[in-house]
Amino acid sequence: MGFLMLIYAFLVFHFLFMIWKWVDRKRDQECYILDYECYKPSDDRMVDTEFSGDVIKRNKALGLIEYKFLLKAIVSSGIGEQTYAPRIMFDGREENPTLQDGIIEMEEFFQDSIQKLLTRSGISAQEIDVLVVNVSMLSAVPSLSAMIVNHYKMRDDIKVFNLTGMGCSASLISVNIVQSIFKSYKNKYALVVTSESLSPNWYSGNDRSMILSNCLFRTGGCAVLLTNNRALNHKPMLKLKCLVRTHHGAKDDSYNCCIQTEDEQGRQGFHLGKSLPKSATRALVDNLRVIAPKILPISELIRFMVVSLVRKLSTISSSTKGGSNSPRPVINFRTGVDHFCLHTGGKAVIDGLGMSLELCEYDLEPARMTLHRFGNTSASSLWYVLGYMEAKKRMKKGDRVLMISFGAGFKCNSCLWEVVRDDMGDGPNVWKDSIDCYPPKTLANPFMQKYGWINDEDPSTFVMR
């Protein structure tokens, strides 16, 4: 009898030990953000109305029709007069870029933001175990990641990933790579570097689907330091709860709606097609369908299912009687999310996300202000939005932050972070010098006031002033 009791006790303790071991291993697989640093170029690279007009005038391929289109696009873009452009624009060489122009643009960002991040965190470059770099429209040899390894003299056993062509959603792809590595290795530091090279990618033609990108994209970047070292659980800012990636590259209209290509004259540019809104909506719906059960309380999911069932039954009933359909049910994401960090792809993108998620202006404010202050900085834009919320001291311990981004391919990626510190907003921030001015009384820019006369011009007598 005693022997059997010992066996039973052993089995029970073994079972409990295996559970503890599984829980302990899961704790080592967590993904935390220790710190991040958004890039802020020098003030001499600021793009105001007058400079924008000068750049547009330099493009001799434009006519009155294109000028009117550009004026409408810029006025409605949501972009202000304090965004930044690469140095090549101020040298007047945007139509004849070199590979070195793109590399220099990236070097300025790497040497500024990565150095600030490492210095502030107290982590040396030699302690970094994983490096993930995403710059979609610049492929150099050696790679940009190799450039960082060389500059900071990182270890020879560092795991390096260099992503190109992934578009504006690439920073969450980079985080996903780090998350996957953290599941297999304990106590590691990872550095995610996300930006876009604009110097070699200015479009100098007159195809309206391609000159639109000139109005939206601006210089920016972000370096993010992550870890799964649980001994540092008092230091991290955010903890990754879940991440979902949706890829619609198999659909031809989605694949072609956002693509780097050449116009009829052979000028290279970035085409934004008419099917883009439809493709983005479709990708968003599929992405939210997967992430919603992971981040929302069961009560909200049950409520949504019941309302959907009632609507379906009422639709069937009304169709037999000739009545109208009831309103489409919408999931209330605020039941599981406190803050929304949305991709600043443009005013229309932010408005569309607001409508799809039924968000209020308070929820959309960080994305709108980021678009106005920094423009669309591609994959790094999410971190400027996060910086705005941090500078405004909106976040407190326990809050949940939903990030949503879109990218060429076509992709929609999202993730949920949990705030793990109460002092978010106390440290250095890219918004520090301008946060008190936001939100401004109006987001209207002076382009219409300065160039509105173009709308009254006669094509036969038009001369650009």
pLDDT tens for each residue of 234-250: 789 999 999 999 999 99
CATH architecture type of domain 29-302+333-456: 3-Layer(aba) Sandwich (3.40)
For residue 395, the model assigns a pLDDT of 94
Lowest average pLDDT, out of 164-178, 308-322, 351-365, 418-432, goes to 308-322
> Which has more pLDDT, 7 or 116?
116
> Which has more pLDDT, 457 or 404?
404
For residue 3, the model assigns a pLDDT of 62
pTM for the full predicted model? 0.90
Mean pLDDT in residue range 253-265: 90
DSSP per-residue codes, 155-199: -TT-EEEEE-S-GGGHHHHHHHHHHHHHTTSSS-EEEEEEE---G
Q: Which of 247, 257, 258, 429 is catalytic?
A: 247
Residues in CB range of 444: below 8 A, 6 or more apart: 75
For residue 460, the model assigns a pLDDT of 72
Pairwise CA distance, residues 17 & 14, whole Å: 5
Q: Which of 168, 215, 258, 415 is catalytic?
A: 168
Q: Which of 38, 201, 341, 343 is catalytic?
A: 343
- At 65-93, the pLDDT tens digits run 888 888 888 888 899 999 999 999 999 99
> Which has more pLDDT, 59 or 128?
128
Q: Which of 162, 341, 372, 415 is catalytic?
A: 372
Is 437 an annotated catalytic residue?
Answer: no
Task: Name the amino acid, one letter, at 305.
Answer: M
Strands (E), 101-253: 130-135, 159-163, 189-195, 221-227, 238-247
Lowest average pLDDT, out of 71-80, 101-110, 133-142, 316-325, goes to 316-325
- At 190-214, the pLDDT tens digits run 999 999 999 998 988 889 888 888 8
Please give the mean pLDDT across all residues of the chain.
89
Angle, CA 151 vertex, CA 164 and CA 96 arms, to 5°: 50
Is 372 an annotated catalytic residue?
Answer: yes
Helix (H) or strand (E) holding 270: strand 268-272
Q: Which of 201, 287, 376, 413 is catalytic?
A: 376
Q: Which of 339, 341, 429, 445 is catalytic?
A: 339
Q: Is the pLDDT of residue 22 over 50?
A: no
Is 151 an annotated catalytic residue?
Answer: no
Pairwise CA distance, residues 414 & 243, whole Å: 6
For residue 321, the model assigns a pLDDT of 58
For residue 91, the model assigns a pLDDT of 92
